[in-house]
Structure 1
Amino acid sequence: MNELNFRAATEDDAAQLQQLVECAFRAEDSRKGWTDDLGLSSSFRLDVQEVLAMITKPDSVMLMATDNQNTLVGSIGTSKRSENQARLFMLAVDTSQQCGGIGRQVLAYAEDYCRRTWGVTTLGLNALSNRQQLISWYSRRGYKMTGETTAFPREKFENLVLPGDLCFVEFEKVVG
């Protein structure tokens, strides 16, 4: 497993991050259950302005993971929600580097970053309800389902036929 270097993204990184996240979220994946067969992945769009907003938002940091050649291989968003809680979002790994432990390293770094930087004791994140392999992956990383769900933004995917029960499953992990 390669040694990764981490840093907070700046506004100059927005386009590069947008490309990484959009490619990672749109990638076809042969592992059953990792991506959906609903056409969601091919319809996923992320605007550079949305990434810029994440980078510049107070109490929010987009973390970037680069390899020894300074190539962006992974990223994750973090935001402080309260004195004791932070939220992780949009974990992405370069499609050519998936299954190599980068996702685990990026997630672990983000957890440590939130604990060190903001002193939080609880982390939250979510996963699409139809992504059973991803839900299992988060569970193996110590995240527990809270029993809560968040609505899926159907208005962004009006051209797709989606299951009525599609939603985001909420997770929490105690880190401090």
Structure 2
Amino acid sequence: MVTTQTVLTFRKATTADARDTQVLIKSAFRGDSSRAGWTTEADLVDDDRIDEAGVIAKINQANGLVLLAHDNSSALVGCCEIQGRDGGFGYFGLLAVDPLRQAGGLGKKILVEAEVMARDQLGVRMMEMRVIWPRQEMIDWYIRRGYTKTDRTEPFPYAHLVNGKALSDDLYFVIMEKELLEPRMASI
């Protein structure tokens, strides 16, 4: 059997991409469609994750962007958000991969591209991100990619859910971080 590797192309989202991006994010995290992948949060939260206006706000944020990943056929297969913050700090979030395409390395490729962009274009040296605490398999995935759990946590935004509710009242975020190192120079 011959398998072909998916080649991704990346670009910054524009407001014209907001609807498709919102649909992708919801499909990766919420509802029955998210159960086709391993990133589902459908047993923890029953909402839309983010609405189109929220995606537009992230696209238009100062010192940040929403990164889109398209496959060989130009289909939108993944996205994420990156922000540069003061002092060389940054934020990574909203990593979403089409649930039917998960567990094939696309998320890792998107994460690597986001880290390079954050470092090289936004001046980020320390990337921070959040994972809902019951998602141990997600925490482990980020640890395998160089992130470490800090001893810091953040409350879950129960009051800011989009068109839904939480299914548990004990949620909070585990804060993880990774130092973004300069690329190594090739030896001569």
Common fold by TM > 0.5: yes
Output one character per residue of 1:100-130: Cα deviation in whole Å (capped at 9) or x when no partner. Answer: 1000000010001111102221111010000
Q: 1:45 to 1:134 in 2, by over 3 A?
A: closer
C-alpha change, 1:161 and 1:18, in structure 2 (3 Å) is closer
Query: For the residues of structure 2 that align with 1:30 and 1:72, how far apart are their CA atoms?
Result: 16
Alignment-mate amino acid for residue 167 of structure 1? Y
- Deviation above 3 Å: which 4+ runs of structure 1? 34-39, 156-161
Q: Map 1:95-110 onto structure 2 (within 5 A).
A: 95-110=99-114
- 1 CA distance for matches of 2:173 and 2:158? 12
SS in 1 for 2:59: helix
> How far did residue 36 of structure 1 move?
4.6
Using structure 2 for the length normalisation, give the TM-score. 0.85
Q: Secondary structure at the match of 1:110?
A: helix
3-state DSSP class of the match of 2:94? strand
- With over 3 angstroms needed to count, the CA separation of the structure-2 counterparts of 1:161 and 1:118, relative to structure 1, is closer
SS of residue in 1 equivalent to 2:174 = strand
Is 1:174 aligned to residue 179 of structure 2? yes
Q: Which amino acid aligns with 2:168?
A: L
TM-score in terms of structure 1 length: 0.90
Cα distance change, pair 37–51 in 1 and its aligned pair in 2 (3 A)? closer
Q: Which residue of 1 aligns with 2:185?
A: none
Quick one: which amino acid aligns to residue 180 of structure 2?
Answer: V
Q: 2: CA distance between counterparts of 1:97 and 1:163?
A: 31
Distance 1:84 1:156, change over 3 A: closer
State the 1:35 CA deviation. 3.8
Deviation string 1:53-96 (CA, Å, 9 cap, x unpaired) is 00011111000000111110000000111131110010000111
Structure 1 CA distance for aligned equivalents of residues 61 and 88 of structure 2? 19
Superposed counterparts of 1:1-176, under 5 Å: 1-26=5-30, 27-29=34-36, 34-36=39-41, 38-40=43-45, 42-156=46-160, 159-164=165-170, 166-176=171-181
Shift of 1:162: 1.4
Q: 1:21 to 1:84 in 2, by over 3 A?
A: same
Q: In percent, how many aligned pairs have the same letter?
A: 34
Q: Any conservation in 2 of the 1:127–1:168 contact (CA below 8 Å)?
A: yes
Number of aligned positions between the proteins: 172
Give the root-mean-square deviation of aligned CA atoms: 1.8
Whole-angstrom distance in 2 between the partners of 1:37 and 1:51:
20
How far is 1:11 from its partner?
0.9
Is the alpha carbon distance of 1:161 and 1:46 closer, same or farther for their aligned partners in structure 2, counting shifts above 3 Å? Answer: closer
Instruction: Please say if residues 93 and 129 of structure 2, whose CA atoms lie closer than 8 Å, have aligned partners that are also in contact.
Output: yes
Deviation at 1:30, TM superposition (A): 7.1
For the pair shown, which has the larger CA radius of gyration, 1 or 2? 2
Q: Aligned equivalents of 1:36 and 1:56: distance in 2?
A: 26
Secondary structure of the structure 1 residue equivalent to 2:149:
strand
